[in-house]
Chains A and B, each alone.
Chain A
């Protein structure tokens, strides 16, 4: 690992951005739900379903865009389903999210088997992938070209969504209402805000983000669907949101840190270190970061 010079560091950055993309997209979804007071634990299952819908619909229609659209719709529908469980059936939020994850893992496997006769992988489906974008002019510049050009379209979308979500939450009337609901639902209701409608909207939007994250997994990161391919990334996104102090930019930096951990673990596996131990890194970093974050908050509270 000593020959890690600047040039190889720069080529490492696209790898970081690649693994950060699904975490960031899902974490933005978690952020919106959390600020509305309905933490979306089901993001893991929504991602998995999005990945599945993208592969199946793009294979059936031959269109990557339609597959992507299907992934977004699938995520949004699951968001609506979760809010149905929470708002209509009055089930527990966290447990319903866990149930959603279980149902998504079982349901995608079941449907995959019914469609292809295979439980594990969608190899027999000729699904499409979403493109990588080359930014004109910048692509030709040496270092900047590697950093800014040639990434997957959803990588750009994820990073562009960060200011979008941030501005929405902090600078629009609807974002203000959403935060008010999350902060204190009773007061928000007294102020005339329809709490339930805001929370339903937040969960559906959260699901759409998770669906996009799933589409990246099966239509970008790889070009197929496999059983449980989200592999805990939804939970990592949950950690990223908590680490991000509830802000869009904080969530982005947390996602990048966790993406760096995952990319490093992949690179170090290639360098001959025990791959199993390296695979723990992306799961241990959030725990450490949570403790650091919690300690700082405790100290702030102690000072106040």
Chain B
């Protein structure tokens, strides 16, 4: 078992290096100084403490969005509302600290709490519709992401907009509401500790609590769960409410941790990053931490080459997409020859697998 986990780790690591190379090398070769591009991408994030700090800052929402996705995917729910929940959570948090008169100490906690509850609707509504009416949570969550975006822009434009600012952004977030910075010279804030704690709690929930165990049974074998007499509907709904709360809370933390004003004009993409993080971490809350750090490292590298060379940082989007495909590729990850190559031993036949057949994965 340890050997096969090791094999999976090695194969994943090699794949990640290959994927980064496949995307980056052609782009670098199209530029005048390919070696400098690669050097900046790979080592640049560690040359300057501020950039290294950027990795941790970016990993913070990625961890929490990944956790939200993992909690829902573990329950078998393909709910993609994390993107919209993150956006709406950030907005509702800013709206709360701007519009509600609160004592300074309560601003951040109350703001984030309200943001989490309001934003979680983007995951909870599809969850309810699935649990109650068996309407596809996949489609309705995709739709509600866009609905959340436009409702959010409406609120910004009509209630929070600072007429003195040139663009459509909110008033300044009051300084008392901001999360304290942890490390001088970087923008790493208290939210990072919250995210780490959330991943720890997520592991306790999924692997050590009764509720998490039930959710995993429903996710891995719904008919067995039905046979046990588990309350499947409420378990499904609960998983998606928890996922929504985490994702939306992450949006609020992101706003109070890093932003001066609410300035998102479109969906920020953190939710999709969360999907990649969760898949890379195999829906394991503890592994979310390295997975999020790794993807953020790529993002910082991409931003650095975008800033220093004439290339858009979108290259990182291509890397993320490839990561998503290759780490779920059973033909690679479960390839007996590869596993034998890594462990030097024949893998045990008939291992318990949570493989999803092509036909079975259509919700």
Binding site for B on A (CB under 8 A): 34, 37-39, 41, 85-96, 98-100, 102-103, 105-107, 109-110, 113-114, 119, 185, 199, 228, 232, 235-236, 238-239, 242, 274, 276-277, 279-280, 283-284, 286-287, 290-291, 293-295, 297-298
A93 vs B359: C-alpha distance in the bound complex, in angstroms? Answer: 9
Binds A, one of B90-98, B150-158, B186-194, B229-237: B150-158
* Complex interface: chain A residues within 8 A of B145 (CB): 232
B36 at the interface (CB under 8 A from A): no
Given contacts A103-B317, A239-B143, whether A96 and B358 have CB atoms under 8 Å apart is no
Binding site for A on B (CB under 8 A): 27, 30, 78, 80, 125, 129, 133-136, 138-140, 142-147, 150-151, 153-154, 157-158, 266, 272, 275, 279, 311-312, 314-318, 320-322, 324-326, 328-332, 356, 358-359, 361-363
Among the listed B125, B312, B322, B361, which residue makes an inter-chain contact with A93, where contact means beta carbons less than 8 Å apart?
B361
Among the listed A102, A114, A291, A297, which residue makes an inter-chain contact with B324, where contact means beta carbons less than 8 Å apart?
A102
Given contacts A106-B317, A276-B154, whether A85 and B325 have CB atoms under 8 Å apart is yes
Would you give the shortest CB distance from A115 to chain B, in whole angstroms?
Answer: 12
Interface centre among A37, A90, A293, A297 (most CB of B within 10 A): A90
* Complex interface: chain B residues within 8 A of A85 (CB): 325, 329
Would you give the shortest CB distance from B123 to chain A, in whole angstroms?
Answer: 13
A-B contact pairs, 22 of them (CB 8 A): A34-B362, A37-B362, A89-B331, A90-B331, A91-B326, A91-B328, A92-B361, A94-B78, A98-B80, A98-B324, A103-B318, A109-B312, A110-B315, A239-B142, A274-B158, A276-B153, A287-B129, A287-B135, A287-B144, A287-B147, A290-B140, A297-B134
* Complex interface: chain A residues within 8 A of B139 (CB): 235, 238-239, 242, 286, 290
Would you give the shortest CB distance from B226 to chain A, in whole angstroms?
Answer: 15
A-B pairs, top 7 by smallest CB distance, nearest first, are A106-B317, A276-B154, A103-B321, A90-B330, A89-B329, A99-B324, A294-B133
Closest to B324 in A: A99
B contacts with A: majority SS = helix
- Beyond A89-B329, A95-B279, 18 additional contacts (C-beta under 8 Å) are A89-B332, A90-B330, A92-B328, A92-B361, A93-B358, A94-B363, A102-B320, A109-B317, A113-B314, A119-B312, A236-B143, A276-B151, A276-B154, A276-B157, A286-B139, A293-B135, A294-B129, A294-B135
A228 vs B324: C-alpha distance in the bound complex, in angstroms? Answer: 20
Among the listed A41, A87, A228, A290, which residue makes an inter-chain contact with B135, where contact means beta carbons less than 8 Å apart?
A290
Closest to A297 in B: B134
- Contact A298 B133, beta carbon cutoff 8 Å: yes
- Contact A91 B147, beta carbon cutoff 8 Å: no
Closest to A235 in B: B142
* Complex interface: chain A residues within 8 A of B329 (CB): 85, 89-91
* Complex interface: chain B residues within 8 A of A228 (CB): 266
Closest to A90 in B: B330
A142 vs B181: C-alpha distance in the bound complex, in angstroms? Answer: 69
* Complex interface: chain A residues within 8 A of B320 (CB): 99, 102, 106
Would you give the shortest CB distance from B275 to chain A, in whole angstroms?
Answer: 6
